[in-house]
Structure 1
Amino acid sequence: MSTSGRFDGQVAFITGAARGQGRSHAVRLAAEGASIIAVDICDQIDSVPYGMATPEDLHETVSQVEEAGGKIYAAVADVRDRATLETALSEGVARFGVPDIVLANAGISPQRASEPDPQQVFIDTVETNLVGVWNTVSLVAPMMIARNEGGAIVITSSAQGLIGRGGDGSGAASAYTASKHGVVGLMRSFSAWLAPHSIRVNTIHPTGVHTAMVEHEDMMAWVAADPDRAATMSNPMPIDMVDVSDVTEAVLYLVGESGRYITGVTLPVDAGFTSK
């Protein structure tokens, strides 16, 4: 049963929902009344050094949403593959209706100390983190416009989407920063387009988050490879990373009644990282 009903009757479309931030967002929204359309690639991209989400992870998201009293349609879909993503979205819409909330959250962060193919990792990162966001929003926004009831879109960027700290010219580091800056440009373009339809679009910018995407040996080796990088990548507040729940709280603020007139904003959840 929904706890507060803040999102009763609403539908949320979430990419990258099999674990981490996406799962956290899905479970919280479901607990407060939203029906969830959840997608994730549930497969490995060869250039990514850490283990990506699996079908079992997506099943766990389904279980946790249902335990929270919510309804969910979950599908395997790669945000880079527009046709497959559209099929998953259409099936979810057929079950629950047009989304009120869109969380373009899917992304990769494949930094490692030594890259076997920097060009490929650059392409894979930009296609997932930037093209995938464009695919997501450009597919669902026309549905939201036609429905004519407004809505809220939050794109997951990064603290690195506001600065460029820690860059080393590698394919992954360059592509990650470029893609996370790029989604800010998409957000600003989308927010100008959609504001007359009462559809709000914002980006959220976490520092490091306690997730499998960040907490793995290759990422730690990349940071440790340059002593200056470790100092550069630290937070001014005395924490190493934030929790997924911290990001979820900010997302709920933006998509709820609390954020009803907030659009075109880049919101850091970064323990002061971008203020250094």
Structure 2
Amino acid sequence: MSGLFEGKVALITGAARGQGRSHALRLADEGADIIAIDIASQIDSVQYAMATPEDLAQTAADVEARDRRIATYQTDVRDSDALKEAINAGVAELGRLDIVIANAGIVAFSANEPDPLAAFEDTIATNLAGVRHTVQAAAPHLIQQWNGGAIVLISSTQGLSGRGGNGSGAMDGYVAAKHGVVGLMRSYANWLAPYRIRVNSIHPTGVNTPMVANEAVMEFLNSSPSVGAALTNLMPVDMVEPADVSNAVVFLVSDNARYITGVTLPVDAGFLVK
């Protein structure tokens, strides 16, 4: 039995692990072939261990185990030229592009922020500029095909709320970047609607991935009890699972949402109404 995305190709950034891998496998389960991009190396201002080439290889193996094709590229979304080259190569290899998930992101929170400016700038460069670089490189392929398409930008509850702000470089950068993603989404929704390309954003609360569930972030929250309290959910869950976000991705990029564009969809266990 064919899936929702049989014959389609999905581009996912930050695909080596966490949400990105979950999105890749969920879309592959529904028949999509995958272009998977990840930096798969460390950024100095990030205090937890980031994804590795082995993680990206595991995503590839998991997609191939589902009898789908995958093209992987170890590429930094902050580098617009390298990202464009990787996306072009992936489209050339897999033959087309239908779905774009701009997922790559970092959290540079730490209890004793060693370099607030670096944390701010790295976060903006990855979580905001990296999203723009992704869409700017991918959208021409969707436009040229003249077959519509769907783009989802992964933001955060912090893209719709400033709760927990504490003046740190990492928090300032994260909140500003995730709000900026909403602006990009709305701008792109207007730009691409005449081509039948839909653009939406998803706003998860904390997600149970290595980006959040790690010692550095836990120390940061423990060192700032007021911040930790502000970031709790309305429903009695500490974090949602990557699959919860992937389910929202699948809906938004499917024909079930064919007339939905320009929306901010929370997957937040009630965070935003608390």
* TM above 0.5: yes
Q: 1:98 offset after TM fit, Å?
A: 2.7
- The one-letter code of the counterpart of 2:83 is L
| TM-score of the pair, normalised by structure 1 | 0.98
**Equivalent runs, 1:67-82 vs 2, <5 Å:** 67-82=65-80
1:103 partner SS = strand
1:37 partnered with 2:31: no
1:184 to 157, 182, 185: 182
- The one-letter code of the counterpart of 2:261 is T
- The one-letter code of the counterpart of 2:201 is T
Match of 1:167 in 2: 165
1:200 partner SS = strand
Q: 1:230 offset after TM fit, Å?
A: 2.1
Match of 2:152 in 1: 154
Q: 1:226 offset after TM fit, Å?
A: 2.2
Q: Which runs of 5+ in 2 are unaligned?
A: none
Match of 1:244 in 2: 242
* CA–CA separation in structure 2 for the residues paired with 1:270 and 1:167: 18
Deviations 1:69-89 (A, max 9, x none): 211000100000111111111
1:230 partnered with 2:196: no
Match of 1:275 in 2: 273
**Equivalent runs, 1:1-276 vs 2, <5 Å:** 4-276=2-274
Paired residues of 1:31 and 1:69 also in contact (CA < 8 A)? no
* CA–CA separation in structure 2 for the residues paired with 1:13 and 1:228: 38
Deviations 1:104-139 (A, max 9, x none): 000001111111110011000000000000000011
- The one-letter code of the counterpart of 2:200 is N
- The one-letter code of the counterpart of 2:210 is A
| TM-score of the pair, normalised by structure 2 | 0.98
Q: 1:63 offset after TM fit, Å?
A: 0.6
- The one-letter code of the counterpart of 1:264 is G
Paired residues of 2:166 and 2:227 also in contact (CA < 8 A)? no
- The one-letter code of the counterpart of 1:96 is L
Aligned pairs, number: 274
- The one-letter code of the counterpart of 1:12 is A
Q: 1:4 offset after TM fit, Å?
A: 4.2
Q: Which runs of 5+ in 1 are unaligned?
A: none
Q: 1:222 offset after TM fit, Å?
A: 1.1
Deviations 1:22-73 (A, max 9, x none): 1011111112111100000011000000000000000000010011121100
Q: 1:13 offset after TM fit, Å?
A: 0.6
